[in-house]
Chain A
């Protein structure tokens, strides 16, 4: 089952060919970029500590995370049932429900909704799935006036950049470069006061809110039983998307379903705490369907687009289904020492960090992203942080196993490991090898060695290695016990 899953991605590949992704190049550059590292660490360490502090307010955060994980798992295990229920709930409230199998299907569908409704201008609020399919780009190409209204995403859009974090998209950008960008974009003198810059964006975007024909949202959760989409935010731009335009389109991945409204009390107590260390974000909205008869704001027309784009294949895998529990909180990114060292862009996809190291190969092909599961020390900080208890280290190891089984891991490397393991099955060979390695003492200076031969030369590129001891423990035991 797994071999079929990873081998040939059947969904449309992104605009940038995955085959061109060179992890080594980008990660090495990122790791030596001290400006990037400072910016990233400043943000994520704070958020990670905030998470720990705020979770401590809960009576038993560990048990609550287990419960949240169980709720998501249950929903995934019966996703067909809940999708049927969801469709009925939304249609009962007057909304239209569409199912998009691929990124292309979703894009074409939404473009058609916009053109059928004579839409000219579109306001978009933050949505990772829309980034996944590069929807704004498609809108621009088709001649629509589309603007990202989340401040970070707006900055990404006007800078032709890409987000580098699930929750704080411009964590990699420093103040000076943003000030520079705004000065150029708005044609105003350079000003690096964050308040000034934010107000500048606010005025610009407020005019867009006021006259937009169509609003777009994503969804943090969507309730099968009653049809509500739940969107959390701090700025208010998602609320604007569901207030002023006459058409509303919400594009949501099929894995975002939860069965009941009651489940939101569990999810909401974990989401903001895990993401940024807040008990609640400033706004949590629940909405569905067009506006009821008599209301004078809110959408006249509502479309829910539920997208697959490879998720059903992950669902089919008993091993990897669990990764679909993800509620996109970013806690794993914040906790990850690799993410802290290289930032989000080095992962080559909209989903960076530990969860990205899983879903990007799963969705876009393990062969194209073979470094992602391996570039991890398996420290487990991500699993500790995950509010729905996705066992990320376990899945990373499973992907490594898949790579061996599919010969994505090179045959020479496989040979080295197999030989090494054979050697360890024989105590005689093991002890002989220890004796041979002791010869390294001859090239040691003050107890350390500066150079190790291949295939271990990567070690001494960075650091020295202590010399082997005069006697191994086994030799000492033999002599003294």
Chain B
């Protein structure tokens, strides 16, 4: 590595790597920030997410099982992988879905390979960004990475308090709390236009993303 670095330093006109450098340019929020906390974040998130082709519906913790259950049954989506989190424990989501005749298992019990064979992934989120209408998931032992990627359908539950205004705020959050196993910003269903600019939805990720806002 030292040879490699020496070449770089030499290219920059010096013999040693500096131990200190001037600060990088200041990020001027007046030209970078699109959304402040003074707006109705819930409505903005709804508008932006819908524009990004996420299907967003308002729900509540008490009616969550019903909302998700009806959706899955109407789509004939039976086998499910579910992320493990306090919200879902509180809503008794797993039991509720299984009571309706669905076959729901926690990610921690199912694992990666079996997730390739499920019909839908039901996940919580780390947060959501109003500016872009995005879901943000963070990998962990209870959440996994595949849960919002591998199944054809992704159902995400977002708590209103989780909506943050702008990408600027997301990056602050990543710095403060760490990206751990990895953070993914999801802004729509998987798509491509590689074949002669024809838009095709659902390539390697979920072709449908449903969001329940509680």
**A and B touching (C-beta < 8 Å)?**
yes
Q: State the A residues within 8 Å of B (CB).
A: 39, 42-43, 46, 57-60, 63-64, 67, 70-71, 74-75, 77-81, 83-84, 87, 97, 99, 101, 149-152, 155, 168-170, 173-175, 178, 194-195, 197-199, 201-202, 205-206, 209-210, 226, 228, 234-237, 239-240, 242-244, 254, 259-266, 268-269, 279-288, 291-292, 294-298, 308, 312-313, 315-316
Residues of A contacting B3 in the complex (Cβ-Cβ under 8 angstroms): 101
Residues of A contacting B33 in the complex (Cβ-Cβ under 8 angstroms): 59
Residues of B contacting A152 in the complex (Cβ-Cβ under 8 angstroms): 192, 194
B5 close to chain A: CB less than 8 A: yes
Whether the Cβ atoms of B12 and A79 lie closer than 8 Å is: yes
**Cα distance A184–B65 when bound, in Å?**
47
B86 close to chain A: CB less than 8 A: no
Whether the Cβ atoms of B145 and A298 lie closer than 8 Å is: yes
Whether the Cβ atoms of A71 and B171 lie closer than 8 Å is: no
Residue in B9, B144, B195, B204 whose CB lies within 8 Å of A202: B204
Interface contacts (Cβ under 8 Å), in number, total 253
Whether the Cβ atoms of A236 and B196 lie closer than 8 Å is: no
**Cα distance A152–B204 when bound, in Å?**
13
Q: 10 closest A-B pairs (Cβ-Cβ)?
A: A236-B205, A287-B182, A236-B204, A316-B11, A294-B141, A152-B194, A194-B198, A99-B4, A284-B185, A235-B203
Residues of B contacting A281 in the complex (Cβ-Cβ under 8 angstroms): 187
Q: A63-B31, A265-B27 are in contact. Are A205 and B204 (CB under 8 A)?
A: yes
With most chain A CB atoms within 10 A of its CB, the pick from B139, B197, B203 is B203
B39 close to chain A: CB less than 8 A: no
- For chain B, give the interface size range: 35 or more
Residues of A contacting B184 in the complex (Cβ-Cβ under 8 angstroms): 239, 283-286
**Cα distance A287–B179 when bound, in Å?**
7
- CB contacts under 8 Å to A, within B167-196, are 167-168, 170-172, 174-175, 178-196
Whether the Cβ atoms of A79 and B185 lie closer than 8 Å is: no
**Cα distance A69–B181 when bound, in Å?**
30
Residue pairs across A and B with Cβ atoms less than 8 A apart, 5 shown, are: A101-B3, A199-B202, A234-B191, A235-B192, A243-B149
Residue in B14, B25, B185 whose CB lies within 8 Å of A280: B185
**Cα distance A288–B183 when bound, in Å?**
10
B112 close to chain A: CB less than 8 A: yes
Whether the Cβ atoms of A262 and B172 lie closer than 8 Å is: yes
11 A-B pairs besides A198-B192, A266-B27 with CB distance below 8 A are: A59-B31, A75-B24, A151-B192, A151-B203, A170-B194, A175-B196, A199-B202, A260-B175, A262-B171, A294-B140, A296-B111
Whether the Cβ atoms of A206 and B116 lie closer than 8 Å is: yes
B83 close to chain A: CB less than 8 A: no
Residues of B contacting A151 in the complex (Cβ-Cβ under 8 angstroms): 192, 194-195, 203
Residues of A contacting B175 in the complex (Cβ-Cβ under 8 angstroms): 226, 260-262
Q: A63-B31, A80-B17, A280-B185 are in contact. Are A226 and B179 (CB under 8 A)?
A: yes
Residues of A contacting B132 in the complex (Cβ-Cβ under 8 angstroms): 279-280
Whether the Cβ atoms of B192 and A234 lie closer than 8 Å is: yes
Residue in B14, B139, B196 whose CB lies within 8 Å of A174: B196
Whether the Cβ atoms of A175 and B182 lie closer than 8 Å is: no
**Cα distance A170–B193 when bound, in Å?**
10
- CB contacts under 8 Å to A, within B127-165, are 132, 134, 139-141, 144-146, 149-150
Residues of B contacting A235 in the complex (Cβ-Cβ under 8 angstroms): 190-192, 203-205
